[in-house]
């Protein structure tokens, strides 16, 4: 009995003290939450929320009839002010290179991995130790990472060069579309999942737990430098194939030869790069970087002018003194008349109303959406979105992704804000690049 009285007294005292700690029982929310402020992301501009009428502002030259008029609304977001450049994409390539090398070194040299946390508990699998510099002058280090380079019989003039075939990036994502289906959700009555998902190979798999919605992929990240040759028959483009991604003269040119899947992998890597840094400092992570939806891209391209034909707002491709306003294929194939034969430095031409450069011309840009001729008919009028995770055994028509903006090799029609076309997700072209967006938190 005495023990019961003591327990009861402790309960009463605990209840009274707990009431005091939450402001006398009033609903005040969880205290001590971080006061979040979202600074302007480096190299991105803010695109405010709004509505616009999508669709053609000129005759449908190709008679595609795939972009009918429709009033839609999009949320606010951040967007890269220029296309991703060679040098920015090279940071991704070098990170993949270094992470592979460090894991190889960590298998034999402990200083290149972290096996324990701060409390001394084992870390499985071991984490990469980015603080330790790779000493390439060390004979043992060079021996371990030797397989990252071309074999002697594959070398030109005996030069020791990185084997770009080894630059494989492993990444994960959650398929929220499949997880959102009611038949796939967790059943609280049976305390189990039900339904099924389609995995990356297109196989139908029963859901066992949350892991069933987590997808893994591995992709080579190096751009297809040979795209400069295979895109054009009987055309001398070997200098671009040899130098465009490699030489510092092209550092600030838009990266090309990147497939839709590689661009998507870049977005996931960029997200983790920033969020890992923020969380290491005790700050909250930000929204994911991603490819823009088709509607976001068109809304941003219009630059605040809902009825503009081109991103610069006018109806013509020249300014008042006769200079071309973008890098494209003017006249009858006079590629150089606009200032560039192929690509030019990002930001060469004036930005649009939102401060975005090269939303028309230079290189066309991947968007997040799958291509369907009738997408404008069935998509919602609030943040329209149509995605399809194409599997290897799907027919090619299911692997089409929307491309916007036109490029250095396209005629003016493809530079219009409303023009849409497609390319296959696993192909890389010398005239397609990309830029990232990030959803804005709040209104």
User: Does residue 7 have a pLDDT over 70?
Assistant: no
Residue range 54-103, pLDDT digits in tens: 877 666 666 666 677 889 999 999 999 999 999 999 999 999 999 999 99
Phi, psi of 283 (to 5 degrees): -100, 160
Q: Say how many C-beta atoms besides its own lie within 10 A of residue 47's C-beta.
A: 23
Report the pLDDT value the prediction gives residue 279, as an integer from 0 to 100: 87
User: Does residue 8 have a pLDDT over 60?
Assistant: no
- Taken in order of first residue, the domains within the chain and their CATH numbers are 39-85+221-443 (3.90.1580.10), 86-167 (no CATH), 170-218 (no CATH)
Q: Which two tokens stand for residue 113?
A: 């991995």
Query: 38 versus 299: which is more confidently predicted?
Result: 299
User: Does residue 341 have a pLDDT over 70?
Assistant: yes
Q: Say how many C-beta atoms besides its own lie within 10 A of residue 144's C-beta.
A: 18
d(CA 259, CA 414): 20
- Confidence category of residue 20, pLDDT binned at 50, 70, 90: very low
- Pseudo-torsion of CA 163, 239, 258, 203, nearest 10°? -60
d(CA 286, CA 152): 45
Q: Which two tokens stand for residue 282?
A: 């005790």
- Confidence category of residue 16, pLDDT binned at 50, 70, 90: very low
Residue range 371-419, pLDDT digits in tens: 998 888 899 999 999 999 888 888 999 999 999 999 999 999 999 999 9
d(CA 284, CA 275): 8
Report the pLDDT value the prediction gives residue 116, as an integer from 0 to 100: 81
The answer to whether 358 touches 325, Cβ cutoff 8 Å, is no
User: What's the Cα-to-Cα distance from 384 to each of 45, 73, 295, 377, 379, rounded to whole Å?
Assistant: 21, 8, 6, 10, 5
Q: Which two tokens stand for residue 351?
A: 């930005």
d(CA 193, CA 188): 9
- Confidence category of residue 314, pLDDT binned at 50, 70, 90: confident
Q: Return mean pLDDT, the chain.
A: 89
Residue range 130-151, pLDDT digits in tens: 888 888 888 899 899 999 999 9
Q: Tell me, what DSSP letter sits at residue 29? A: -
Report the pLDDT value the prediction gives residue 18, as an integer from 0 to 100: 47
For residue 46, list its beta bridge partners. 78
The answer to whether 404 touches 416, Cβ cutoff 8 Å, is no
The answer to whether 334 touches 409, Cβ cutoff 8 Å, is no
d(CA 28, CA 170): 43
Alpha helices in 340-422, H assignment, sequence order: 375-378
Q: What is the mean pLDDT of residues 115-119?
A: 80
């Amino acid at each position: 009995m005495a023990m019961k009285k003591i327990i009861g007294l402790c309960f009463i005292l605990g209840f009274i003290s707990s009431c005091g700690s939450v402001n006398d029982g009033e609903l005040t929310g969880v205290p001590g939450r971080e006061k979040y402020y979202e600074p302007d992301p480096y190299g991105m501009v803010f695109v405010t929320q709004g509505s616009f009428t999508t669709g053609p502002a000129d005759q449908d030259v190709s008679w595609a009839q795939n972009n009918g008029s429709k009033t839609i609304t999009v949320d606010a977001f951040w967007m890269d002010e220029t296309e991703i450049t060679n040098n920015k994409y090279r940071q991704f390539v070098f990170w993949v290179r270094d992470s592979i090398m460090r894991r190889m070194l960590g298998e034999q040299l402990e200083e290149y991995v972290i096996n324990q946390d701060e409390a001394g508990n084992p870390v499985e699998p071991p984490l990469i130790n980015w603080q330790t510099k790779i000493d390439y002058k060390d004979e043992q280090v060079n021996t371990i990472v030797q397989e990252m380079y071309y074999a002697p019989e594959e070398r030109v003039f005996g030069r020791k060069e990185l084997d770009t075939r080894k630059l494989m990036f492993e990444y994960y994502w959650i398929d929220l579309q499949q997880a959102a289906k009611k038949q796939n959700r967790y059943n609280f009555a049976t305390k189990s999942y039900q339904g099924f998902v389609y995995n990356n190979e297109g196989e139908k798999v029963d859901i066992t737990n949350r892991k069933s919605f987590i997808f893994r992929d591995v992709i080579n990240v190096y751009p297809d430098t040979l795209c400069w040759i295979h895109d054009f028959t009987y055309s001398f483009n070997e200098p671009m194939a040899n130098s465009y991604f490699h030489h510092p003269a092209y550092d600030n040119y838009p990266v090309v030869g990147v497939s839709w899947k590689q661009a998507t992998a870049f977005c996931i890597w960029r997200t983790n790069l920033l969020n890992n840094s923020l969380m290491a400092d005790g700050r909250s992570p930000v929204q994911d970087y991603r490819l823009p939806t088709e509607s976001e891209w068109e809304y941003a391209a219009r630059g605040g002018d809902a009825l503009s034909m081109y991103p610069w707002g006018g109806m013509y491709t020249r300014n008042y003194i006769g200079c071309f306003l973008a890098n494209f294929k003017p006249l009858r194939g006079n590629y150089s008349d606009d200032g560039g034969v192929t690509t030019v430095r990002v930001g060469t031409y004036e930005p649009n109303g939102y401060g975005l450069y090269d939303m028309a011309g230079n290189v066309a840009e991947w968007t997040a959406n799958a291509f369907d001729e009738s997408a404008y008919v069935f998509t919602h009028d609030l943040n329209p979105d149509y995605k399809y995770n194409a599997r290897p055994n799907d027919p090619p028509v299911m692997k089409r992704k929307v491309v916007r903006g036109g490029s250095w090799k396209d005629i003016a029609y493809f530079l219009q804000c409303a023009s849409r076309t497609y390319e296959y997700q696993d192909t890389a072209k010398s005239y397609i690049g990309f830029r990232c967006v990030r959803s804005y938190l709040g209104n």
